[in-house]
């Protein structure tokens, strides 16, 4: 499998992630994460830290950490989430809108499971099934943001108006994300990563 980034580029990207994630956790991350976990626990009536297995670099699974934003609803178990999903709580909707539910992923970045910029980590059945040249995507750590994430920042709203959200995701959105993420890896630059972070912060 093609690695995508050179050793020097991968080192620079990893060093940046460690410094930024460590600084974020020291300055504001820990207390805010604990506060959000407590609020989400009350809101969803379950432990407020959501943990799920995702596919990471080289196709290896890892546990991603997020603030829980959905309650359990009998008969609803799809991994594709639309903005009108009945499982999303009122607080959860606010957290998802401002991406605060992803704050615990600073820990994922610090330990090396993720990066600030890269393809979003998917559940099994997507990235781990990539074939041929598309597998270059697995040569980088999944990220909190990136070009595909920014293009589909309103993905939940797009899925909400589809007759079959799962089918639309699998046949339209997912293939387009693969195309975008492959281009990201093949044309990677540190300057581009900084631009994606800035665009994300701008909203």
Which pLDDT tens digit goes with each residue over 82-132? 667 788 999 999 999 888 999 999 999 999 999 999 999 999 999 989 999
Q: Examine residue 120 and state whether it is found in any structural domain, yes or no.
A: yes
Q: Examine residue 1 and state whether it is found in any structural domain, yes or no.
A: no
Chain-centroid distance, C-alpha 193: 15
Q: Examine residue 12 and state whether it is found in any structural domain, yes or no.
A: yes
| Amino acid 171: pLDDT | 96
What's the pLDDT band for 199 if we cut at 50, 70, 90? Answer: very high
| Amino acid 105: pLDDT | 97
Q: Examine residue 2 and state whether it is found in any structural domain, yes or no.
A: no
Task: Please provide the average confidence, as pLDDT, over all residues in the chain.
Answer: 92
Q: Examine residue 62 and state whether it is found in any structural domain, yes or no.
A: yes
Q: Examine residue 18 and state whether it is found in any structural domain, yes or no.
A: yes
Q: Whole domain around residue 162: which residue ranges?
A: 7-202
Which residue in 60, 56, 200 sits closest to 141, CA to CA?
Answer: 56
User: How many domains does one find in the chain?
Assistant: 1
Q: Examine residue 30 and state whether it is found in any structural domain, yes or no.
A: yes
Per-residue pLDDT, averaged over 40-57, amounts to: 96
Rounded-to-integer distance, Cα 113 and Cα 91, Å: 27
| Amino acid 2: pLDDT | 47
| Amino acid 1: pLDDT | 43
């Amino acid at each position: 499998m093609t690695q995508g980034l050179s050793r020097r580029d991968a080192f620079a990207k990893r060093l940046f992630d460690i410094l930024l994630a460590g600084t974020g956790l020291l300055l504001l991350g820990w207390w805010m994460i604990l506060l959000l976990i407590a609020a989400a626990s009350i809101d969803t009536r379950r432990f407020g830290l959501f943990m799920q297995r995702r596919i990471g670099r080289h196709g290896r699974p890892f546990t991603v950490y997020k603030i829980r934003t959905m309650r359990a609803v009998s008969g609803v178990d799809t991994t594709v989430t639309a903005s009108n999903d009945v499982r999303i709580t009122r607080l959860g909707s606010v957290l998802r809108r401002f991406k605060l539910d992803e704050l615990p992923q600073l820990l994922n970045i610090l330990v090396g499971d993720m990066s600030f910029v890269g393809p979003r980590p998917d559940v099994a059945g997507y990235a781990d099934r990539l074939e041929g040249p598309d597998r270059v995507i697995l040569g980088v750590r999944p990220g909190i943001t990136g070009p595909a994430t920014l293009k589909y920042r309103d993905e939940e709203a797009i899925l909400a108006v589809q007759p079959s959200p799962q089918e639309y995701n699998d046949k339209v959105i997912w293939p387009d994300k693969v195309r975008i993420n492959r281009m990201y890896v093949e044309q990677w630059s540190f300057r581009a990563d900084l631009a994606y972070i800035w665009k994300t912060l701008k909203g």
